[in-house]
Structure 1
Amino acid sequence: MDKKPVNSSEEKVVESKGINAFVLIFVVIIIAAILTYIMPAGTYERSEIDGRTVVDPTSFTFTESSPVSFMGIFNSVHLGMIEGAGIIFFVFMVGGAFGILKATGALDALVTFLTIKLANKAGLLIPILMLFFAAAGTLMGMAEETLVYIGILVPLAIALRFDAITGFAIVSLGASVGFSAAVMNPFTVGVAQGIAELPTFSGIGLRLALLATLYITAVWYVWRYAKKVRNNPSIGFYGSHDSNTKVEMDSTYKMQTHHKFVLIVFLINFIVLIFGVLNYGWYITEIAGLFLLFGILIGFIGKLSPSEIADSFIEGAKLLVPGALVIGFAQAILVIFQSGMLMDTILYYASGVLENLPAALSAIGMFIFQLFFNFLIPSGSGQAALTMPIMAPLGDLIGVTRQTTVLAYQLGDGISNILFPTVGFFMAGLALAGIPWGKWIKWVFPFALMQVGIAIVFLLIAHFIQYGPF
Structure 2
Amino acid sequence: MKESTGTKLKRILLHPFVILFLLLIIMTAMTWVLPASQYDAVTVNGVNTIDPASYHYVDNTPVSIFSMFKAIPQGVQTTISLICMMLTIGAAVHMVDETGAIRSALMALTHKTGEKNTKFVLAGAMIFFMFIGAFPSMFEACIPFMPIVVPVCLLLGYDVVTAVCIVVIGDIIGWTAGPTNLYTVGNSQNIGGLPMFSGIGYRLIVLVVLGAVALWYVIRYAERVKKDPSKSLVAGQDYSDLRGNVEDMEFTATRKLILGVFIATVILVVYGSLNWGWGTLDMAATYLICAMICAIIARYTPDKAADVMLDGASSMFVAAMVIGIARGLSVIMDAGQITYTIVHALASMLSGMPPAVTAVGMMAVVVVLNFFMPSGSSKALILMPILMPMAEIIGLSKQITILAYQFGDGISNLAFPTVALLVACLSYTRVSFDKWFKFILPFEGIVYAVCVVLLVIASAMGY
Q: TM-score, normalised by structure 1?
A: 0.69
In 2, are the aligned partners of 1:18 and 1:423 still within 8 Å (CA)? no
Deviation at 1:18, TM superposition (A): 7.2
SS at match of 1:384: coil
Counterpart selection for 2:350 from 349, 354, 370: 354
Q: 1:93-133 deviations in whole A, cap 9, x for unaligned?
A: 3333322222221121122222223335x2x3312333124
Task: Indicate the percent of aligned positions where both proteins have the same amino acid.
Answer: 21
Deviation at 1:237, TM superposition (A): 4.8
In 1, are the aligned partners of 2:91 and 2:311 still within 8 Å (CA)? yes
C-alpha distance in 2 between matches for 1:286 and 1:320: 19
Deviation at 1:178, TM superposition (A): 1.7
Deviation at 1:365, TM superposition (A): 1.0
Q: Does residue 389 of the first structure (1) align with residue 378 of the second (2)? A: yes
In 2, are the aligned partners of 1:133 and 1:171 still within 8 Å (CA)? no
Identify if the C-alpha distance between structure 1 residues 202 and 19 changes in structure 2 by more than 3 Å, giving closer, same or farther: farther
Counterpart selection for 2:17 from 9, 13, 22: 22
SS at match of 1:281: coil
C-alpha distance in 2 between matches for 1:50 and 1:302: 50
In 2, are the aligned partners of 1:94 and 1:291 still within 8 Å (CA)? yes
For 1:59, the equivalent position in structure 2 comes to 54
RMSD: 4.6
Deviation at 1:410, TM superposition (A): 3.1
For 1:131, the equivalent position in structure 2 comes to 124
In 2, are the aligned partners of 1:370 and 1:413 still within 8 Å (CA)? no
In 1, are the aligned partners of 2:146 and 2:163 still within 8 Å (CA)? no
Stretches of structure 2 lacking an aligned partner (at least 5 in a row) = 1-10, 133-141, 238-245, 389-397
C-alpha distance in 2 between matches for 1:253 and 1:174: 23
Aligned length: 406
For 1:317, the equivalent position in structure 2 comes to 313
Q: 1:234-272 deviations in whole A, cap 9, x for unaligned?
A: 99958669xxxxxxxx99974111222222222222332
Q: 1:354-396 deviations in whole A, cap 9, x for unaligned?
A: 344545224421564378x4xxx9xxxxx735x7534541233
Deviation at 1:73, TM superposition (A): 1.6
Q: Does residue 280 of the first structure (1) align with residue 269 of the second (2)? A: no
126-135 vs 214-223, which moves further: 214-223
SS at match of 2:42: strand
Identify if the C-alpha distance between structure 1 residues 388 and 51 changes in structure 2 by more than 3 Å, giving closer, same or farther: same
Counterpart selection for 1:149 from 152, 161, 186: 152
C-alpha distance in 2 between matches for 1:205 and 1:388: 22
Residue identity in the other structure for 2:318? P
Q: 1:291-316 deviations in whole A, cap 9, x for unaligned?
A: 32233323333443333333333333
Deviation at 1:167, TM superposition (A): 6.3
C-alpha distance in 1 between matches for 2:78 and 2:223: 51
Q: 1:400-451 deviations in whole A, cap 9, x for unaligned?
A: 766864553332223779xxxx95855986989xxx959x957x76555433
In 2, are the aligned partners of 1:407 and 1:459 still within 8 Å (CA)? no
Q: TM-score, normalised by structure 2?
A: 0.70
C-alpha distance in 2 between matches for 1:441 and 1:169: 12
In 1, are the aligned partners of 2:74 and 2:328 still within 8 Å (CA)? yes
Identify if the C-alpha distance between structure 1 residues 93 and 194 changes in structure 2 by more than 3 Å, giving closer, same or farther: farther
C-alpha distance in 2 between matches for 1:332 and 1:258: 45
C-alpha distance in 2 between matches for 1:323 and 1:427: 6
SS at match of 1:314: helix
Identify if the C-alpha distance between structure 1 residues 348 and 221 changes in structure 2 by more than 3 Å, giving closer, same or farther: closer
For 1:335, the equivalent position in structure 2 comes to 331
Identify if the C-alpha distance between structure 1 residues 172 and 290 changes in structure 2 by more than 3 Å, giving closer, same or farther: closer
C-alpha distance in 2 between matches for 1:193 and 1:96: 32
Give the alignment of 1:55-94 within 5 angstroms: 55-94=50-89
C-alpha distance in 1 between matches for 2:306 and 2:461: 46
Task: Kindly indicate which of the two structures has a greater share of residues assigned to helix.
Answer: 2
Identify if the C-alpha distance between structure 1 residues 402 and 266 changes in structure 2 by more than 3 Å, giving closer, same or farther: farther
SS at match of 2:349: helix
C-alpha distance in 2 between matches for 1:76 and 1:110: 44
